[in-house]
Structure 1
């Protein structure tokens, strides 16, 4: 009887482990945020930087205002962190960078730029509703190859 229980337990643990290994390592297109604002990263592209050891990652995000009043959001609400906990701040402000007021019950799309090492394959992007507070959402984002 004990052998049967051990066999069942081992089989159960292996099935759980294998299920975890099959999880896709991407949170792209996952809508997260707060009750006020929902953010969805929808597309990631990699651009060439001035140095061959660096890349510029461009993350397209869709932002939905779920409230009855206008709310501002900008690229400064986002940070990027690699597996070694190194934080990458936003890289410059371009004309298409996220940074506007979103009217009540409306949505907008914008871009967030980060300068990262060319060898970085994935990182965690976090969204903070108000600057100086803890992040309210995080996504694991895989970066396309060069």
Structure 2
């Protein structure tokens, strides 16, 4: 079988139901129709970086977007999200304990105003220093092709 150029290979589009086929089923189908999709094409050396990146994205879409791979990515996402929620709960617990220590002492009428100011400052600093960065680092679900 002759090596094909990337342009020739990328004109081939997978048949209906391709997303539901496993890696082995895909390999058998391509072997049955006589199509070999190499990692590097015959014109690889002549391609610029953008063309190589476009071909590699197409190659990944053809080979790696299998039901098994999608299930694995969603499983990893769920584990990361569970860990993120546990860490968020830990930070909330620490904030609650800290505020409990501040408010748990005997209160006089004059000290309530000071405690309210301290509580506002603690919550504001805690929100900016912990919760803002935690929400920015929240795991995102994997995208589907």
TM-score range, shorter chain: under 0.3
Structure richer in strand, relative to its length: 1
Question: So what's the TM-score if we normalise by structure 1?
Answer: 0.24
The structure with higher relative contact order (CA 8 Å, sep 6+) is: 2
Question: So what's the TM-score if we normalise by structure 2?
Answer: 0.25
